[in-house]
Each structure stands twice: as C-alpha cells, then as structure tokens.
Structure 1
Amino acid sequence: MVYLRWRRFIEMASLDRPWLGDLMEKRKGEAFRAAPVERWDQEYRDGVYDRLHRSDQRHHHRLLAAMIADRWPSPRVLEIGAGEGVFFEALRNHRPARYVGVDFSEPAVATGQERLSAEIASGQVQMLLGDGRTFSTDETFDVVVFSECIEHLGQVEPLIDHYRSMLAPGGAVGLTMWLSLKPLRLWRTLKAMGQVHDEAVVNTPWGGGWLVATVGVTD
C-alpha cells in the first residue's frame, strides 16, 4: 500500500514536472510498440476484458463522454481500439449522431456487433474490423477517441497526423490512458501537438487511475 501511494504521488507530480517522470521512469527511452493481434484475440476469447463492462471500471469513460458531449452536442465519434464498443455505453446517453468503432481483434468486433445490434441496424453505429495504425474512411468526425490503446499503436506523432484528415474543422482527439510514467511521456508529446481542451485525472476507490483529456489537433 505504501508503494502504491508513493507511485501515485510520483505520477501525479510528474504531470506538471516532466523532469520528475523522466528521472523515475524505468527503461527510459524505450519505444512505444504496437502489440500483436494474436495477444488481443486470445485475451478477448478468454474473457480478460469482461470486467470492463462493470460500472466501477468505467469512471473514465463516463467523464470522457461528458467532455465530448459538452463541446460537441450530438457528436460524431470515431473510436480506435474500440474492443467490444464498451465506450459507446458511456456515450449513448449523450445521443451521438454517429459512432464508428474500429478494432483489429475479430472476436472483439464480433461481440460488439452483437451487443450493439439495435444501434447498428438504425445506422447510428458501425463496428468495423481494422488496424488502428492504418484505418481510413471518407467520413469525418468531431472526435477520434483512443481509450486505453494509444500507447499500443506505435509513435504518436505519425498516428495523430494520419487521423487529422478524418476530423472535421475544430475536431479533437479524445483520450483515456492508464496513469503511469511511460504513458505520461506519450501524453506530453500529444499535448505539444495541439490545444488541450480538457485534462483530468480519475482515481477510483480500488486504486486505479486514468488520465482523461481532449486535445484539439485541427485548425
């Protein structure tokens, strides 16, 4: 418990003091690498992510959904690394005009298509199989969401550059990430690429912590 409290103190302090995060981070300078699809497929089949459906695991989703809806009423949202579309459960109450979820795990997308079949039938929702590093569409969106996945998609600069063309004027990136030192290094890079609209930290009773933010990356 003492270690966990110390670690959280360091993580929180490094949000405003990047030098502290650089000092304390293990394996400094290690590149961000995309995880293989086989890993995610097996974990979805094994039910590893079933816990994400529980309300006490989705505080950060509800906050990000509220941030998006406050700035973009009836938003059009593209979610990369959508898994089974769990984030849509938080977004649904804000009546999004459009939601497209993309994931490269076939078991996850199949489950999402089943769970959201009514919204898919109405045309409000699509769940698509695709690689988050290279997915492309002619549609434009108000927000591209990366929920607990951006650190698995390689270098952040070319990733955000790729998705800019799919954002409407005034569009943004929506983000949730586990609060730890390595992802915070990525967060500092993303902050430098645009204008931070919202930034918050969500701490849970069971000890979890997430960074939740929206960043404007278009003119």
Structure 2
Amino acid sequence: MSVNEQSQAALWDREYRDGRWNFLHAMREVPRYGIVSAYLAQVLKPGSLLDIGCGDGVLMDYLPVTKISRYVGVDLAQEALDRFRGLPVGGELACADLQSYQPQGKFDAILFNEVLFFADDPAAEMARYKKFLTPEGAMVVSLYVKQSGGAARQLAQVEEALAGTEWDLIDSCKLVSNAKGTTWHLFLAR
C-alpha cells in the first residue's frame, strides 16, 4: 500500500471505529440497498460477486446468500472488514484500495456501491474491472447525486462512460429519498 493509501485507510478505520458509517444500517438506506440487491439478484442465479467497497457487509442484510456461489469483498478499511456480518460460506475479504486491487478470476457481478467517488478516474476503473466479468456478467454501480464539486464531476464521468459504445446499459434509475434528502443514480451494465 502506498503512503497515501495507508493514510486513507487510517482515516476510514477511525471513521468506522467512531460510528461515522453506522447510518448505512438505518431504515433510510433500505430503498437504495433494495435496488442494488434486486439488480444483483437478477444477475446472480446463483453466481460469483466481487463487492468493491463492501464496508462491514450491509449488503448481506439484503441479498440472499443462496444467490452467491462465490463472494469477494474488498474495502480499504480493515476496521470495516473486522466487523463484516454475514460473510457467505467460503467468502473472502481483502483489505485493499479499489485502484490497486487485482481480482483473481472472473465474476458474474461486480458491485461499486458508493465507492467510485474515491477513484482518480472512475470510468477507467470500471473499464479495468470489466475485464473480470464473465461473458454474461454485469456491473452494478450506485452513486449519490451532487449538483457540484468533485462528486458531480465523477458521476458525470460514469454516466458518460456508460452511455458509450463500450458498455451495454441494461438499466439505470434515479432514486430520491425524501426523508434523507438524498438522490442516487444506480446503473446495471455489461
């Protein structure tokens, strides 16, 4: 891990210890996780899942383990991985940055759940990971919508990439949580 990755990992570890990410287990996250898990359930029959930015395993509360034949979860925060709940039998966890992680084998689904904001070039990372999809595999991407700043630019890069000829955009939707005051853009592509 580079010095910058170590610094970022320490920050994420501290935030998990301090409870900063506990809100991901709250009722207000159910709609987004519902769509993410529904997309994955359509792709996994059962099948293999690479979960980039898996955190402490919130997804496992929504996706039946019977849909998963192989699971690999990747997160930069070891603290999150230490708290992971519901790891499927035979599942693996890796502490790594999404930009430096090298998957082993191919996957039926690759999930980027609110993590592409942390990539220098999110479209390039999606293209790199696409090589690790099985021929009928698909990628699920969830990003919250911001109107300005770096997050808005990165969301625009993802949208532009998925509209290009290199991708087959199967579905996309925007989800608005009135209670939370957040909008997400979710994509299913291959």
The two structures share one fold, judged by TM-score above 0.5: yes
Matched position secondary structure for 1:36: helix
Question: Which of residues 171, 175, 183 is equivalent to 1:209?
Answer: 183
How many residue pairs are counted as aligned between the two chains? Answer: 177
Structure 1 residue 46 displacement after superposition: 0.6
Q: Distance in 1 between matches of 2:107 and 2:80?
A: 23
For residues 82-121 of structure 1, the aligned pairs below 5 Å read 82-92=54-64, 95-112=67-84, 115-116=85-86, 119=88
Aligned partner of 2:138 in structure 1 is 172
- Segments of 5+ residues of structure 1 without an aligned counterpart are 1-33
Which 4+ residue blocks in structure 1 deviate beyond 4 angstroms? none
Instruction: Tell me how far apart the structure 2 counterparts of residues 71 and 145 of structure 1 sit (CA, whole Å).
Output: 11
2:71 partner letter: Y
What is the alpha-carbon distance in structure 2 between the residues aligned to residue 143 and residue 53 of structure 1? 23
Distance 1:157 1:56 in 2: 28
- How much has 1:173 moved relative to structure 2? 1.7
1:149 aligns with 2:120: no
Alpha-carbon distance in structure 2 between the residues aligned to 1:76 and 1:67? 14
Secondary structure class of the residue paired with 2:155: helix
Shift of 1:211: 0.9
| Residue in structure 2 matched with residue 185 of structure 1 by the alignment | 156
Distance apart, 1:93 and its partner CA: 6.2
Aligned residue for 1:97, secondary structure, equals: strand
Amino acid at match of 1:85: G
Structure 2: state its 5+ residue gaps: none
Which residue of 1 is the match for residue 125 of structure 2? 159
TM-score normalised by length of structure 1: 0.73
Task: Report the CA distance between 1:100 and its aligned residue.
Answer: 1.2
Counterpart-to-counterpart distance in 2, 1:103 and 1:214: 21
Q: Is 1:66 matched up with 2:38?
A: yes
Q: Give the structure with higher Rg (CA).
A: 1
Structural RMSD (CA): 2.1
Q: What residue identity is the alignment partner of 2:49?
A: V
Structure with more of its chain in strand, by fraction: 2
- 1:91-147 Cα shifts (integer Å, max 9, x gaps): 2266222221100111011111xx235x3xx21x22221221121132211111110
